[in-house]
Structure 1
């Protein structure tokens, strides 16, 4: 059981990203396919992108990378980075769709599914290393930190400090 926990903590970001990325990809493909029946594939792709980016932001922020901030400036900076880098992946997405459908004449849904492999990989790299990066804590400590911070906050006048290269958390209380 300890080995399983160790693997979970080691690969938490990847496992949860694959799970929620699958949901996001499904949203993208379903919205694209529905819209593609009534409009141009390029417009359908942008609508699908927008719907999936909203799903991706919420799931990545809350459950994949556990990103929580106390102030609005940090939230807006993260949101701006997220949408900015997702626009970069939209450009890549549109380019693959245009080549596959307009130049090669392939089926739109097939191209969309193939396209998602490249988009998912680029979005993971953007999210992990540029948007939701954590300089102080790894995935295991992040979760523990927020639980610890909650209990410290609700048990008198205590604060949580992170120190040292291993991000040691200590509860500092003044009575």
Structure 2
């Protein structure tokens, strides 16, 4: 059992924090759409933004254990995260419009189904494109810097006649 937990720790952790983010998203959506009578698409945008901030923080530190090494890495991860989540947001909004069209009297059910589908896709997007790629990005940046330094060193050798 322990081996299974270790093997799937990232997925289990993502599922736990993703469920919390989905609950935040659902709760904010419900309060705004049902209690405050805000148009469902506006309620969805606000709920999504709040949930995405929570998700970035928990994914970065607790799911994918991406340390804070520099502001540059942090900003790169955040911008990549937002770019990928913009695709997810488009999918989220599309599912909400379609769902409300077909099930107009049950917006919470539509939002729940939407959260499950988008959540599954977001796990793979986060794992493959955001928090794992930053290590490769930093590695490539370091490699490029070494090449540039080596290239500049070789240019200086030629200029000095060495």
TM-score (normalizing by structure 2) = 0.77
Greater Rg, structure 1 or structure 2? 2
**Structure 1 residues without counterparts, runs of 5 or longer:** 137-175
Q: Following TM superposition, by how much is the alpha carbon of 1:102 offset from its aligned partner in structure 2, in angstroms? A: 2.8
Q: Deviations over 1:38-74 (max 9, x none)?
A: 2100000000000100110111011000001321111
Q: Deviations over 1:101-155 (max 9, x none)?
A: 135535111100011111101110110000011687xxxxxxxxxxxxxxxxxxx
Counterpart of 1:29 in structure 2 is: 26
Name whichever structure is richer in helix by fraction: 2
Distance in 2 (CA, whole Å) between partners of 1:80 and 1:135 is 11
Matched, 1:80 2:79: yes
Q: Following TM superposition, by how much is the alpha carbon of 1:9 offset from its aligned partner in structure 2, in angstroms? A: 2.2
Larger relative contact order (C-alpha < 8 A, sep ≥ 6)? 2
**Structure 2 residues without counterparts, runs of 5 or longer:** 136-162
Name whichever structure is richer in strand by fraction: 1
Runs of 4 or more above 6 Å deviation = none
Counterpart of 2:17 in structure 1 is: 20
Counterpart of 1:44 in structure 2 is: 43
TM-score (normalizing by structure 1) = 0.72
How many residue pairs match? The answer is 134
Matched-pair contact (CA < 8 Å) for 2:76–2:134 = no
Matched-pair contact (CA < 8 Å) for 2:92–2:114 = yes
